[in-house]
Amino acid sequence: MDPGGRGRDFAARLAPGPPVLLDGATGTELERRGAPTRLPLWSARALVDHPELVLQIHRDYAEAGAEVLTANTFRTQARTLAREGLGHRAAELTGLALALARRAAGSRAWVAGSMPTLEDCYRPELVPDAAALAREHAEHARHLAAGGADLLLVETMNTVREAVAAGSAARATGLPVWISFACDGAARLLSGEPLAAALEAVAWPEPALVGVNCLPPAAADATLAVLAAAGRPFGVYANLGAPNDETGFTRSADCAPAAFAAEARRWWTAGARAVGGCCGTTPEHTRAIALQLRRNGVRR
């Protein structure tokens, strides 16, 4: 599954040293640049209509200094694509998303395959039953591995049971796994489950990294002590607001790139081994974090 060994290289990169710099948003960046991102396909629509724009966004993040480019596979599961009559193209579009990220990454960045919730990231009550979780996450993980992902990013998990199912499916590929949760401002998953319990529950898939994502910087700060106490390498990539299918993306706060980089500095000072951005962030936010790392002597 990992003939080039880049997944093993990524796991080694998490050893003590400068934190790994992640990229930022894809979906809201597509929207900002004029590409339609209406549900149910969200960012996956651009793989059909604007693949060249997806490639350019990846290139912009790589040029800004990102060491990990997350492929645009956030909504390429068969379940979502089927709602637009494209379920039979799940493997094809997942492979295309990975190929675009790989072209942009070259040898300077790792490519992560995104494995989000099967339903709405913000609505834990919609999580499917155990059989569907196991079957569909396994299929998506196989598509990502076959497409050449260096690592699998199980992200924006809002319940423990889906995180365990997705993490187990990702682990079965043999690639490094990163499991990241969406939390409120009190270090709880959106289901209400404590983040500490969630981190304990995903110990079995043996993730190379755990973390939180798609939450405001202030909510991310509230998770730092819990993440550090888990005893595993952790990462943080916060958002600047939430997408809305009717009104488009609305920022919850005006967070300029330099201000966001200052937020990221708190995360790596607290021990984060990977930092970056989620919804609402741009290549300029990534560039600002890279500059902050250099100014603090953390990165050349």
pLDDT at 3 (0 to 100): 42
Whether the predicted model's global pTM rises above the 0.85 cut: yes
- pLDDT attached to residue 250: 64
Output the 3-class SS for the chain.
CCCCCHHHHHHHHCCCCCCEEECCCCHHHHHHCCCCCCCCCHHHHHHHHCHHHHHHHHHHHHHHCCCEEECCCCCCCHHHHHHHCCHHHHHHHHHHHHHHHHHHHCCCCEEEEEECCCCCCCCHHHCCCHHHHHHHHHHHHHHHHHCCCCEEEEEEECCHHHHHHHHHHHHCCCCCEEEEECECCCCEECCCCEHHHHHHHCCCCCCCEEEEECCCHHHHHHHHHHHHHCCCCEEEEECCEECCCCCCCEECCCCCHHHHHHHHHHHHHCCCCEEEECCCCCHHHHHHHHHHHHHCCCCC
Residue 110 confidence (pLDDT) above 80 = yes
> 136-163, pLDDT tens digit by residue?
999 999 999 999 999 999 999 999 999 9
Distance CA 228, CA 291 (A): 25
pLDDT of residue 241: 78
Q: Give residue 6's pLDDT.
A: 76
Rounded to the nearest integer, the mean pLDDT of the chain is 93
Q: What is the pLDDT of residues 159-196, one digit of tens each?
A: 999 999 999 999 999 999 999 999 999 999 999 999 99
Whether 198 shows a pLDDT value over 50: the answer reads: yes
Residue with the bigger pLDDT between 197 and 254: it is 197
Residue 27 clears pLDDT 60, i.e. is over it: yes
Read off the pLDDT of residues 210-232 as tens digits, 9 standing for 90 and up: 999 999 999 999 999 999 999 99
Please state the rounded mean pLDDT for residues 64-87. Answer: 98
Confidence grade of residue 300 (pLDDT, cut at 50, 70, 90): low
Q: What residues does each domain of the chain span?
A: 6-295
Q: CATH number of 6-295: 3.40.50.360, 3.20.20.330, 3.40.640.10, 3.40.50.12780?
A: 3.20.20.330
The Cβ of residue 8 has, within 10 Å, a number of other Cβ atoms equal to 14
Q: Tell me the per-residue pLDDT of 225-267, one tens digit each, with 9 for 90 and over.
A: 999 999 999 999 999 977 665 555 666 666 899 999 999 999 9
- Name the residue among 108, 100, 97, 172 with its Cα closest to residue 139: 172
What's the CA gap between 292 and 256, in Å, rounded?
13
pLDDT at 298: 75
Is the pLDDT higher at 278 or at 300? 278
